[in-house]
A and B are shown apart, each in its own frame.
Chain A
Amino acid sequence: MKQLRPAILGCITLVVFCVIFVVPFFFIALQAVKDRQGSSLLNFSWPSETQLWQNLVDVVQARDYQLLLAYFNSTVITVFSVTGLVIFAAMVGYVLQRRPSKWNKYVNFAVLAGLMIPPAVVPTIWLLQQIGLFKTIHGMILIEIAYNLSFSILLYRAFIATVPRDLDEAARIDGAKPLQLFFRVILPLLKPVTVTNIVVQSIAIFNDFTNPLYYLPGKDNVTVQLTLYNFQSQFSTQYHLLFMNILLVTIPPLIVFIFFNKQIVEGMTAGAVKG
């Protein structure tokens, strides 16, 4: 009896999570292979006619291959923002953790504020316009870095607390300058959180819908999430293409997540217990 109870509980949990996570995904995949009439019903009925390949080609070719441009834009934004995030957040976390000064209070406050206070869209756009970054990819990259910096800093700071100070001192005695100390001794030791940061932030930024919508309008600036608008209009929606598009857009983050989910958990909890 004693062994049975956890097993039953485990099964129930599995079933519940299956329903929550797998069923929607299955629904998307199912609609993506149907034809226009079939998908407009939005039900689980088995497709009378499958046209996976045709849907795929239609989606990719839509609006002069816009999806490919969107992939390119999203990739550029994601790669550069995540790189910037990792370097800045690790540096800020390191300084906050290792050099107590009277400024720390304010920096900590700013970090928390960045986490808690929702950004105001209109003033941000105004500011971007003033400095000529509105509707530009690099402006978007800076926005993503700014919005996600707080979370990354918190992750890094907790982890840096577990790196023994003796290492810094040994490196100083060995003759390391501050930047050498950071890049050659500290940063390599932060690999577990860096992986976490890369995975979590790249998924978040790749999947970001609202920020590109506000700050990066323009036909040439589309990101993958915005291509979902291609098949929706006020009067008719081509559900089979929309769902195919969703499927294509979901796949890259899903792959990243499946491959790295173990490291994510490790990095998240690494700061908690000393290993």
Chain B
Amino acid sequence: MSGLELKKVCKSYGAVEVIKDLSLQIESGEFVVFVGPSGCGKSTLLRMIAGLEDCSGGTVEIGGEDVTDAEPSDRGIAMVFQSYALYPHMSVRDNIGFGLSLAKTPKAEMNARVEEAAKILQLTDYLDRKPKALSGGQRQRVAIGRAIVRNPKVFLFDEPLSNLDAALRAKMRLELTELHANLNVTMVYVTHDQVEAMTMADKIVVLNKGVIEQVGKPMDLYNNPATAFVAGFIGSPQMNLLEGAAARKLGAEIYGIRPEHIDISRESGLWRSTVRQIERLGNDAILYLDVEDVGSLTVTTDGQTDVVIGDMLFATPQPQNEHRFPTIAR
């Protein structure tokens, strides 16, 4: 029993409401990712779960226990910060063992647990170094090690990979997923990178301006976005969202079609367009088309395509993959 439940939590700084009446249930052992644009309140929500930020209202339950007013250290959570927040004056060993030493754990047990964590994270050779003498990825692992030794019910991550370069980020993504599988604990992960969200999550929570837009499995969000906001946020390149007359002609206030769900042909189709720009990624090519009366469309197509800038093309949305949304109320 190490699930997590938020009941109508809210947070305001003075008159500014950052989190509004938010309720969320997270099952034990789940990997949940909070995504959303910058400033939507992801970090704030995570910090409220951690107890670093007070709730202005509502309750936080961890493992069935109300911890709304509990100290961060009494909540059975561990957090990994974006900046790693390693103690610069302590060796890796002391960094990982700091929480245990505060809890007056016997020396032998402490060493055993630190070494076990170090083994999981391949840090054994670095235990006596200072954080200064480690690479970014190693520091990241120390921060995770510090979380592991606490044996938390819930792991909290706040954009832990955003300071790493692309290759290392992909590697750490995999390592984190494996860690989750091995430890089998609840993890809550904040990111604004939708690739991280799609690849790692059991469940994605899309936040926008302090409210939940949609909660669901990655592929559910991709296939059936509930709102135009989610549709635009999940998937890369972004879904094409048409508004106004062009959308109404297709029977919706907002009409969405993903770039990979548009067929192009040189002979005939729904939209007549000219190619404005091409980005070749190797296996794919992304075309930016100008369509009269509709505007700009993004289309992904085969990487070997012989289309060049200025070509005239017809684009047709696949009917089974269309999305229709009412106007955004807010």
Question: Which residues in A have some Cβ–Cβ distance to B below 8 Å?
Answer: 164, 166-167, 169-176, 180, 184-185, 188-189, 191
Contact = CB atoms under 8 A, between A and B. Distances in A.
A204 to B, nearest CB: 28
B73 A170 contact: no
Which of A166, A180, A185 gathers most chain B CB within 10 Å? A166
A172 B88 contact: no
Task: Say whether chain A's binding surface is mostly helix, strand, loop, or mixed.
Answer: helix
Contact of A172 (B73, B89, B146, B150): B73
Contacts of A180: 102
B72 interface: yes
A175 B86 CA distance: 15
B177 interface: no
A89 B159 CA distance: 35
A173 B77 contact: yes
B73 A189 contact: no
B85 A169 contact: yes
B73 A174 contact: yes
B98 interface: yes
Nearest to A188: B89
B102 A174 contact: yes
Contact of A170 (B71, B77, B85, B89): B85
A170 B81 contact: yes
Given A169-B52, A169-B81, A175 B89 contact: no
24 contacts: A164-B85, A166-B81, A166-B82, A166-B83, A169-B50, A169-B72, A169-B79, A169-B81, A170-B86, A170-B87, A170-B146, A171-B87, A172-B73, A173-B72, A173-B77, A173-B99, A174-B98, A174-B99, A175-B99, A175-B102, A176-B98, A176-B102, A184-B98, A189-B89
Contacts of A189: 88-89
Given A164-B83, A166-B81, A171 B89 contact: no
B176 to A, nearest CB: 19
B270 interface: no
